[in-house]
Amino acid sequence: EVQLVESGGGLVQPGRSLRLSCEASGFMFDDYAMHWVRQTPGKGLAWVSSISWDSGSIDYADSVKGRFTISRDNAKNSLYLQMNSLRPEDTALYFCAKTTAYYSAMDVWGQGTTVIVSS
Amino acid sequence: EIVLTQSPGTLSLSPGERATLSCRASQSVASNYLAWYQQKPGQTPRLLIYAASTRATGITDRFSGSGSGTDFTLTISRLEPEDFAVYYCQQYTSSPHTFGQGTKVEIK
């Protein structure tokens, strides 16, 4: 079964850091691009970041550029999102998702991990 | 950045009726790289349509996508109880891979 499981969310103070992880199983992880998408409570979806299969292509939303870093370890079938200088507006449910290619639709999503930035 | 505007914000329909959802892009979506997702309360988004009109694996033919350039449509031919949800469009032709704000299909 193809599966993505996020972890690492929690309650953190503004200005602090958090690292999210996404563990993949059931497919050849190093064949696929991966993405982070977030959803604010009661709101819509917002793309955060993308990384190609070989980490050669990486993009960020303007709202997180310079603060968040996406990375992957293909040997561990894992995707990461290092979030620094967190702000209250980063509070959201963070999903990881896979695509067939870098520019492709997100065909598998994880269940998400919640990040709350509050003092 | 390509901005996607979905309309209407909420669609109130009865089971068995046809639903027509619109997604308009601020600039042309090259190669029709547009997807539609369904999200039910407390659930993860599910891919319905990609490349504007191709149904994802396992998606019933009650769902169909159409359009090109800047105007795209998701049609649900006959609403079933399980179809009442929020629907999002997303373009993936260029970064940022923007989403529309969503259309909620609710029971009338």
For B95, the closest of A59, A110, A111 (CB atoms) is A59
Q: Under 8 Å CB-to-CB from B42, ≥6 apart: which residues? A: none
Substitution target in A106, A108, A113, A114 with the highest count of B β-carbons within 10 Å is A106
For residue A42, pLDDT over 80 is answered with: no
Residue A101 — pLDDT band, cuts 50, 70, 90?
confident
- Residue B28 Cα, gap to closest chain A Cα (Å): 16
Q: State residue A100's pLDDT score.
A: 83
Q: Average pLDDT in the A47-59 region?
A: 96
- Tell me the per-residue pLDDT of B21-37, one tens digit each, with 9 for 90 and over: 999 999 999 999 999 99
- Residue B78 Cα, gap to closest chain A Cα (Å): 24
Q: CB neighbours (10 Å) of residue A21?
A: 17
For residue B67, the 8-state DSSP code is E
Q: Average pLDDT in the A33-38 region?
A: 97
Q: Does A61 touch chain B (CB under 8 A)?
A: yes
- Report the distance separating Cα A22 and Cα B38, nearest Å: 22
For residue A43, pLDDT over 90 is answered with: no
Q: State residue B91's pLDDT score.
A: 97
| Cross-sheet strand order for the sheet of B34-39 | B10-13, B103-107, B86-91, B34-39, B46-50, B54-55
| Cross-sheet strand order for the sheet of B4-7 | B4-7, B19-25, B71-76, B63-68
For A95, the closest of B44, B88, B90 (CB atoms) is B44
In percent, the amount of chain B with pLDDT more than 70 equals 100
For residue A103, pLDDT over 90 is answered with: no
Q: Could you tell me where the beta strands, DSSP code E, fall in chain A?
A: 3-7, 10-12, 18-25, 33-39, 45-51, 58-60, 68-73, 78-83, 92-99, 106-109, 113-117
Residue A41 — pLDDT band, cuts 50, 70, 90?
confident
- Tell me the per-residue pLDDT of B62-107, one tens digit each, with 9 for 90 and over: 999 999 999 999 999 999 999 999 999 999 999 999 999 999 999 9
Q: Which residue in B has a C-alpha nearest to residue A106's C-alpha?
A: B47
- Cβ–Cβ pairs < 8 A, chains A and B: 61
For residue B20, pLDDT over 90 is answered with: yes
Q: Average pLDDT in the A64-89 region?
A: 98
Angle at A111 between CA B103 and CA A108, to 5 degrees: 75
| Partners of residue A44 in chain B, C-beta under 8 Å | 86, 88, 99-102
Q: In this structure, what token pair is assigned to residue A77?
A: 């079938």
Looking at every residue in chain A, the average pLDDT score rounds to: 96
Residue B15 — pLDDT band, cuts 50, 70, 90?
very high
Q: Average pLDDT in the B39-49 region?
A: 95
Q: Where is B81: in which H helix or E strand?
A: none
Q: Average pLDDT in the A10-29 region?
A: 97
Q: State residue A102's pLDDT score.
A: 83
For residue A53, pLDDT over 80 is answered with: yes
